[in-house]
Amino acid sequence: MQEVLFYIFALLAIAGALSVILQKKTMYAAISLVITFMAVSIIYFLLGAQFIGLLQLIIYAGAIMVLFLIVILLLDPFSEIFLRNQSLAWVGLAVLLGAGLFGILYTAFGQAPVEIVAPPVPPGELTGHTQSLADVLFKQYLLPFEVISILILVAILGAVILAKKRIS
């Protein structure tokens, strides 16, 4: 059952991701991205990581993509913007970069000693994931966590300063 669901949603995620780059209309591309995010979050659920799956939904699908959609809507609401890039040089560069990324990931996963497939989660034992994640974040890796939050704070302040009206 879980395996079937995994293949369904993995295919959906890949189809959505392909649709993002193949769609000609920006709005449809953005909606395809939403579908990809949802499918990925369901895969997290299947692995038993409810907390991360829900954060994926709230942050990416629920907040960031809505902002994307609003921006697309404000740019040019009715005439469809067509995305086109026919320059062969760019296509070649994209293929090269993609192949490079694939190579890096392939070697990384090939060398990794960790078990990538999560142990099957018995039904009814889906509790404690938020707690165990919190234990790791706030006890084991407290310093890196705080450093990352300072980084985000700096980014937010930068955005505020960029958006602020200049008083001459």
Residue 72, beta-bridge partner list = none
Taking the complex as a whole, the smallest distance from the CB of residue 128 to another protein amounts, in Å, to 7
Instruction: Pick the closer one to another protein by CB: 71 or 91.
Output: 71
Taking the complex as a whole, the smallest distance from the CB of residue 131 to another protein amounts, in Å, to 8
Instruction: Pick the closer one to another protein by CB: 74 or 88.
Output: 74
Taking the complex as a whole, the smallest distance from the CB of residue 136 to another protein amounts, in Å, to 16
Find all residues with CB under 8 Å of 34, minimum gap 6, and list them. 61, 65
- Residue 40 corresponds to which tokens in the numbers above? 């990925």
Instruction: Pick the closer one to another protein by CB: 17 or 62.
Output: 62
Grouping H, G, I as helix, E, B as strand and the rest as coil, residue 49 is: coil
Contact residues for another protein (CB under 8 A)? 27, 31, 34, 50-51, 54-55, 57-58, 61-63, 66-67, 69-70, 73-74, 77-78, 126-130
> Do 38 and 57 contact (CB within 8 A), yes or no?
yes
b vs e for 65-77, b when ≥16 Cβ sit within 10 Å of the residue's Cβ?
A: beebbeebeeeee
Instruction: Pick the closer one to another protein by CB: 87 or 127.
Output: 127
